[in-house]
Every structure is written in structure tokens, then in C-alpha cells.
Amino acid sequence: MIGLIGISYKTSTVEVREQFSLAKEEIISFSELLQKETGISDLVVLSTCNRTEIYFSQDKYGFHLAAKLVYKTLKHFKRIENKYWHTFYSYADDDAVKHLFEVSSGIDSMIIGEDQIIGQIKEAYMLCTEAALTDAVLMRLFQKSFEAGKRVRTETRIKMGTTSVSGAAVQKCINLFSDLSNKRVLMIGAGETGSLVLQNFHKNGNPKITVTNRTEEKARKLSEKHNCTLLPFEQMPAHLFLYDIIIVATGSKVPLVTRKMVEESLKTRNNDQQVFIDISVPRNIDKKIEELAPVQLFTIDDFQKVISTNMEKRKDSIDTANEIIAEISTEFSEWLASRSLRPAIETITYNLQKVTKEELSGYNKVNSEEIQLAIGEFSKHMAQKYTRLFIKNLKEMTANGKKTETLKLVNELFSISE
């Protein structure tokens, strides 16, 4: 049986999720405790900022008991005393498979279609597999999840358009200028948003970028990381004229770029065009610069509209994504069910061969070698024919292994003994 317990951004706050987060170096220790306390030894742990999910394979307990045992072990391991079971979700078998495929496809993510999750799933799977924590069922399950993720992203429009402010800001620059490689960009701000802006620029056009920030050490680290030029913050107003694109992403409570600064900049540039992008909250660029003729100002509100439109387009792909997930889920379900037929098939084959061999031994004592050979060939042929017939009927009667009650009856029927 495949089981899953999890907690995500959909069911709990970040403060609760943080308590249940499992770092890479904790997974082996957690698995050892789970094995000791429950006997469950096959698992994959997926732990990100938005979710912690534990996938497990076992046949020792009923699902609900198994799920509760995994949860209690996790609480014990993380030394959590408060009750949080109501913030967890749990799925078994087909529902667990479907959920994993939705996660790997990006349709269960906070940002639909995001790519980061598939890499995180692969990393989690590889870590647990290399530690010998996964059985054949989990191996097959996660391989199929990678297939689902790849197909959804390539066969639908779920990745269409950017869904981040940083990505939308860079896309706006691409739309405004046919060639970014000869443009000069000033990035004011060295936080996470600023870093994402630089990442997006390096993927698209790679202009000449300068970084400045009120805390110079943060600006230095960011500029070194992305191979950019560093500008001391106090020199920013005097050097504003050098840049074609100025992007501001800081937490300042007052505007860092004023109308007077821009007026001085335009004089030096001979009124050549400048693009200002303000993705700060609250705004860090004086809105009055819009009144200056060669200036274009874009704010976070402009990009939120683009993001909302792109999100709606991505949502339109979910139905197609679910069709792909259903198809791959069915393939996995059939593979899993067929595994349960193996003992019965092996029993049928072994016992028919055994009966044939035992019965032949009696005939061989009273017949010539030529007759023995002929009877042996005929018996082998009949045993193979009936084996194939029994296996064919077995698959039909049990729906390829899905009807477990029928399968138990077949196992009893072909368990031949003296």
C-alpha cells in the first residue's frame, strides 16, 4: 500500500510548516526512528518552504493507522507537543499517486506551473534512494511522477507567461528594447527581489548591470554573485544619467528617486529616453516623474495585472494537465496491480510443471526411450498451453490484479500440495 501524509501552504501557516520541516541531514535519522517505532522502512521525504510530505510504502497496517503512526513519529522526532493533525492531509494508493503527480506537474504549487518543485522532488527521491529507503514501488512511482511533470510542462501551456514581479519587470524591458545587450541597467536594492531581477536579466539579454544599495555590503555580495558593477549609494543621484533602465526594489518608506534627480539626469542625457521600474512596496520612485516627457514609469500595479492575466491562462491548462495525470496514474495503477499477480503466476507455473514431472516419472519406468521422449514433449506442450490459459483467465478474473478477493481465491486454488 502506498501512503502519504503532508502539510502545505494550503493547510497551515508558515510558522506551523517550519516546525515539521525536515532538513536533508535529518531524513536518515527520521527514517531510522520510523523503522524502529513502526516497522515502516520505505519512504521518500519531500520538504520545501511550502510543504513537507512523507510518501511511504507498507503492508503492515491499515492506511489510517499507518498515517497516524507516521505523523506521531514525525512529532516525536521534531519534539512537537501541540496537536496539528487537523492541518495535515493524508492519501492512500490512487489518491496518493494523483497528488504526487499534481505536485510534480506544478498544478498544486502556489504559483501554477513553477519549475522549482520538480527539481526538489528529484533531489528528495535521489537522497532517499541512495540511502536505500525506497522499494520498487516507490521507485516506479517517482519515476512516473517525473514523466507526468515533464509531459504537463511540454504538452500544455501551464508555463505560459511570467508569474513573478521580477520576471514581469524584465519582460517589460525586453518588450521596450529590441536589444538589451547594449543597454545599461541600474538595480537599486539588494534583497531577494533584486537578486531575482538580475537572474532574469542574465537569462534574457544580459545587459550591463550596476547594483547599489543603502547597505553597501549587501550590494557588494549581490554584484559579485552576478558579476555586476558596484555603485556606492550616495553616488546614485549624480550617476543616474548613465542608465537606460532604473529598477528600484527596496523597503524604503520614502522615495529614493525623486523628480529633481530625474530632471537633472535628463539634462545630461539631452532628454534621451529613460525607463523607471518601481517594484517596491511602498513605492520608491516619485510618481511625478511621469510628467517628464522622455520618461516611462512602471509600478508594481502594472505588473500585477500582467501576472494575473498569465495566471488565468495557466489555469486554463489545468484540465489538460489532469487528463495527462489520469493517463499516467492509470499506467502506474496497472503496473502496481500486475505486481500482485506475480505470486499467483509463479505458483501456477511451478505446480503445473511439478505435477507434469511427477506423473511423467511413472510412465518413464515402463516405456521405451522413444516413447518417453514423445510423452515428455507432449506433456511439456500441454503444461505450457494450460499455464498460458490459466494466466490469461487469471488476469481477466482479477482485472489484472485489482480484484484482491478473487486473487486470494486463485492463490488458494493453485496452492497444490500432497
64: phi then psi, degrees, rounded to nearest 5:
-60, -40
Which pLDDT does position 326 carry in this prediction?
95
Is there a binding annotation on residue 191?
yes
For the chain of 418 residues, list the mean pLDDT of each consecutive stretch of 10.
95 92 94 95 92 95 96 96 96 95 93 87 96 95 97 92 85 88 94 90 87 95 94 96 95 92 92 91 91 92 84 91 95 81 70 74 67 77 73 65 62 56
Which pLDDT does position 365 carry in this prediction?
63
In angstroms, the CA 111 to CA 311 distance is: 8
In Å, how far are 95, 307, 352, 369, 416 from 380, measured between CA atoms?
Answer: 44, 69, 10, 16, 19
Is there a binding annotation on residue 50?
yes
- pTM attached to this predicted model: 0.67
Owner of C-alpha cell 532574469: 200
Which pLDDT does position 319 carry in this prediction?
94
Which pLDDT does position 142 carry in this prediction?
97
Which pLDDT does position 407 carry in this prediction?
63
Is there a binding annotation on residue 228?
no
Given 49, 128, 173, 228, the catalytic residue: 49
173 is catalytic: no
Give the strand order in the sheet containing 274-278: 229-230, 208-212, 184-188, 245-248, 274-278, 295-299
Which pLDDT does position 394 carry in this prediction?
67
Is there a binding annotation on residue 48?
yes
Which pLDDT does position 416 carry in this prediction?
46
In angstroms, the CA 160 to CA 150 distance is: 15
Is there a binding annotation on residue 192?
yes
Q: How many CB atoms lie within 10 A of CB 407?
A: 20
- The C-alpha cell at 201 is 536579466
